[in-house]
Structure 1
Amino acid sequence: MTMFFTCRNQSCGAQWEQSDVVIKNEGQGLLFRCPMCGARNYVERFEADDGTIVYEQIEGRPFI
C-alpha cells in the first residue's frame, strides 16, 4: 500500500509519496516541505505493529 501526502497549500495540492519528501523538525514539530511550492505540511510519527516507522499527515500544526 502506497501512502500519499497531499500539500495543504490550497493553490498547490500536489501529491507526494513519502520517498519524495524529507521529513524533519524545524522547531515546530515534524513536517515536510512541499517539493513544488515549499509549503509546510505537518506529520505525526507512529510505530507500526511490525516496528517500522510510519508518518501520517495532520491538518494544521501539532501541539508541542
Structure 2
Amino acid sequence: MSETFVCRNQSCGTPWEQSEVVIKNEGQGPLFRCPLCGARNYLEVLEDEDGKVVYEQVDGKPFL
C-alpha cells in the first residue's frame, strides 16, 4: 500500500508518494518538506497490524 501525502501549503497542494519525500524530525516531530515549495508537512507515526511503522499526515502542527 502506497501512502500519498499532499502539501498543506495553500498555494502549492502538490500530491507526493511517500517514496518521493524525505521524512525526518527537525525538532517538532516527524515531517517532510515539500520538494516543490519547501513547506513543512507534519506526520504522525503509527504501527500497522504487522508492527510496521507507517506515517499519517496531520493538519497543521502537532501538539507536543
Shorter-chain TM-score bucket reads over 0.9
Q: What's 1:42 paired with?
A: 42
State TM-score, norm by structure 2: 0.94
* Partner Cα separation in structure 2 for residue 3 and residue 49 of structure 1: 16
Divergent runs of 4+, >3 A: none
Are the counterparts in 2 of residues 29 and 61 from structure 1 also a CA contact under 8 Å? no
* Partner Cα separation in structure 2 for residue 60 and residue 10 of structure 1: 12
SS at match of 2:19: helix
SS at match of 1:27: coil
CA RMSD across the alignment: 0.8
Are the counterparts in 2 of residues 30 and 43 from structure 1 also a CA contact under 8 Å? yes
Kindly tell me the number of residue pairs found equivalent between the two proteins. Answer: 64
Percent identity between the two aligned chains? 69
Are the counterparts in 2 of residues 33 and 41 from structure 1 also a CA contact under 8 Å? yes
Q: CA deviation at 1:28?
A: 1.2
